[in-house]
């Protein structure tokens, strides 16, 4: 471990903290090996990743998502250096946003195996969201995120809360069929939002072999904000407003859906299959 290190960066993530971190990260890596490579996230597809035993994702959740295909069901270990807008996976793992603390955690080389979701040919460490959740993630301008950081999503959440629209979804969860009219559906490996302030799942863990499924059923903004208040108060119960389910495998009959996978916009044309890949990625943790 940490004999050959690949550092994948996104210098545009968040407020461009990765630029400030670069020298410190290189100094840290040199304590372990001279066999390392620093690449921009756009160069990743052209690189032979096979020789590396450790991959640092230096950016936001989108950067982590980009390296997932090279980590799933391998012996490689992921080191997260959070410097994006949200950094939700790092927050769920209890990782600090301070570089010094992150490097000390990596230095201890304590590793945890976590689940990942397979969404057709894509992978997700966090969540796949449709409807309202997708609107917030995909339509919040980068300029707003650069100015307000993660608070930009909170602003967008309020604005889009007044534009809720239902769509019909035919879904099969672990063999049980549902026909649902919903303004928002989330399939989550990690259910935390707004750092760890909000969770759309009950007793959610990254290594429980289950995905959490949150279904929002209403379009009335007043009722919606009431449901959001209940979530903030840690009161999550199935009702006419929302459902909280768990499952291992989901199939969705699809006629062109726009969604986000770990913050990245996706246009899914075919029927959708989402399944849990249990303990499929190793990550440095507290």
Range of the domain at 231: 122-277
- Which of 88, 109, 130 terminates a domain? The answer is 109
Is 285 part of a structural domain of the chain? no
Q: How far apart are CA 88 and CA 91, in angstroms?
A: 5
Residues 90 and 133 in one domain: no
* Residue 232 in tokens: 């903030």
**Same domain, yes or no, for 44 and 16?**
yes
Quick check: is 283 in a domain?
A: no
pLDDT in tens, 22-76: 999 999 999 999 999 999 999 999 999 999 999 999 998 999 999 999 999 999 9
Closest CA to 133 of 72, 187, 70: 187
Same domain, 71 and 179: no
Of 84, 109, 134, the last residue of a domain is: 109
Residues 236-247: pLDDT tens digits?
999 999 999 999
What is the C-alpha radius of gyration for the chain, rounded to an integer number of angstroms?
Answer: 19
Quote the pTM value: 0.92
Write out pLDDT tens, residues 215-262.
Answer: 999 999 999 999 989 988 889 999 999 999 999 999 999 878 889 999
- Residue 214's pLDDT band (boundaries 50, 70, 90)? very high
CATH number of the domain enclosing 54: 3.40.50.10330
Sequence-ordered list of residues with C-beta below 8 angstroms from that of 122, at least 6 positions apart, any chain: 261, 266
What's the pLDDT at 15?
A: 65
């Amino acid at each position: 471990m940490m004999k050959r290190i690949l550092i994948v960066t996104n210098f545009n993530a968040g407020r461009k903290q990765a630029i400030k971190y670069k020298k410190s990260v290189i100094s840290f890596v040199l304590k372990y090996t001279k066999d390392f490579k620093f690449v921009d996230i756009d160069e990743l597809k052209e690189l032979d990743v096979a020789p590396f035993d450790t991959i640092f994702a230096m950016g936001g959740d989108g950067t982590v998502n980009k390296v997932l295909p090279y980590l799933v069901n391998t012996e490689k270990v992921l080191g997260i250096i959070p410097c994006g807008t949200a950094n939700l996976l790092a927050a769920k793992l209890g990782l600090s946003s301070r570089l010094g603390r992150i490097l000390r955690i990596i230095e201890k080389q304590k590793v945890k195996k976590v689940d990942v979701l397979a969404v057709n040919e894509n992978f997700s460490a966090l969540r796949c969201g449709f409807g309202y959740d997708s609107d917030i993630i995909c339509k919040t301008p980068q300029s707003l995120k650069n100015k307000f950081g993660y608070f930009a999503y909170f602003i967008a959440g309020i604005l889009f809360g007044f534009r809720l629209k239902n769509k019909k979804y035919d879904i099969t969860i672990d063999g049980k069929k549902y026909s649902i009219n919903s303004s928002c559906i989330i399939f989550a490996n990690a259910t935390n939002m707004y750092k760890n302030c909000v969770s759309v799942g009950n007793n959610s863990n990254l290594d429980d072999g289950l995905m959490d499924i949150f279904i929002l059923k209403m379009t009335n903004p007043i009722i919606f904000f009431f449901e959001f208040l209940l979530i903030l108060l840690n009161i999550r119960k199935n009702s006419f407003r929302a459902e909280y389910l768990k499952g291992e495998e989901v199939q969705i009959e699809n006629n062109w859906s726009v969604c986000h996978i770990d913050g990245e916009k996706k246009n899914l044309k075919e029927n959708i299959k989402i399944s849990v890949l249990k303990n499929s990625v190793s990550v440095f943790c507290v």
